[in-house]
Amino acid sequence: MLLEAARAVFAENGYERATVRSIAARAGVDAAMVNHWFGGKEGLFAQAVLKLPFEPAELVTVLRDGPVEELGSRIVRTFLTRWDGVGGDTFQALIRSIAGHEAASTVLRDFFLQFFTGLLSDLGGDRRELRVALCASQLVGMGLVRYVARFPPMVEAEVDTLVTAVAPTLQRYLTGDID
């Protein structure tokens, strides 16, 4: 599948360094087909990476289910599991493309905005915009360090280890004292 190959190459190289030729070669099709089917590199990126494999609202519904005190845990575990699994290429491609493609920032920002705003609307509480940004900063940072910059201890750490370590941070950003 061409879209899969595109996600993989964009995930490895980011938007700029990824070439249409290498994506096509990986998928076993001709480079001309990319332009024929998707209207160019831009269109391919939009279809392959900017269409996220899940909706924020759907994820909110899943995570609402459970005790509020363990919300941080469920969030960290959910993201790590998805990023370690099949949805990971999309996230990695997004992160790696932030420098080279404006829309990557926008999609990432909108996703976290909708996701955490949805969660926080249930919880009440003040300073929601800041809380959202704080949560996003820790999750994105964890993703960047684990999947892109590849700090060894973060790469090798088990999901459970990271959940235990990071969950209290999210929990505080969502429901605790931040001023």
Partner DNA sequence: GTCTATACAACGATAGAC
Partner DNA sequence: GTCTATCGTTGTATAGAC
Neighbour-count burial for 120-154, b at 16+ CB within 10 Å, e otherwise: beeeeeeebeebbebbbebbbebbbebbeeeeeeb
Q: Considering the rule CB under 8 A, would residue 118 count as an interface residue with a copy of itself? A: no
Q: How many CA atoms lie within 13 A of 176 on its CB side?
A: 14
Give the Cα separation of 93 and 110 in Å (integer): 16
CB of 45 to DNA, least distance (A): 10
Of 3, 63, 148, 159, which one interacts with a copy of itself (CB under 8 A)? 148
Q: Considering the rule CB under 8 A, would residue 133 count as an interface residue with a copy of itself? A: yes
Contact 124, 69 (CB under 8 A): no
Of 3, 12, 25, 31, which one interacts with DNA (CB under 7 A)? 31
Contact 115, 60 (CB under 8 A): yes
Q: Considering the rule CB under 7 A, would residue 32 count as an interface residue with DNA? A: yes
Contact 134, 147 (CB under 8 A): no
Of 30, 55, 58, 110, which one interacts with DNA (CB under 7 A)? 30
Of 71, 97, 111, 174, which one interacts with a copy of itself (CB under 8 A)? 97
Q: Considering the rule CB under 7 A, would residue 33 count as an interface residue with DNA? A: yes
Q: Considering the rule CB under 8 A, would residue 51 count as an interface residue with a copy of itself? A: no
Among residues 43 and 66, whose Cβ is nearest to DNA?
Answer: 43
- The token duo for 127 is 């300073």
Of 29, 63, 154, 159, which one interacts with a copy of itself (CB under 8 A)? 154
Of 154, 156, 128, the closest CA to residue 143 belongs to 154
Contact 10, 46 (CB under 8 A): no
3-state helix, strand, coil in the chain (%, to 5): 80, 0, 20
- The token duo for 148 is 């892109």
Among residues 26 and 172, whose Cβ is nearest to a copy of itself?
Answer: 172
Binding site for a copy of itself (CB under 8 A): 13-14, 16-17, 95-100, 105, 108-109, 112-113, 129-130, 132-134, 136-142, 144-146, 148-154, 157, 161, 164-166, 168-169, 172-173, 178-179
Binding site for DNA (CB under 7 A): 18-22, 29-36, 40-42
